[in-house]
Amino acid sequence: MAEPIILVTGGNRGIGLEICRQLAERGARVIMGARDKAKGEAAKATLGAAAERITVEVLAVDDSASVTGFAQRIGKSPGHLDVLINNAGIFDKRDANASAVPVEVVEQTIRTNVLGPMRLAQALLLMLRASKAGRIINISSGMGTLHDMGAGSAAYRMSKTALNALTATLAAELTTSRIAVNSMCPGWVKTDMGGPGATRTVAEGADTAVWLALDVDQATTGKFWRDRAEIPW
The residues annotated with a catalytic role in the active site are 156
Residue pair 85/139 in contact (Cβ under 8 Å)? The answer is: yes
Residue 93 neighbours by CB under 8 Å, 6+ apart: none
Residue 110 neighbours by CB under 8 Å, 6+ apart: 155, 158, 159, 162
CA–CA separation, 105 and 155 (whole Å): 7
CA–CA separation, 191 and 90 (whole Å): 12
CA–CA separation, 37 and 56 (whole Å): 7
Q: Is the peptide bond before 117 cis (omega within 30 degrees of 0)?
A: no
CA–CA separation, 62 and 138 (whole Å): 15
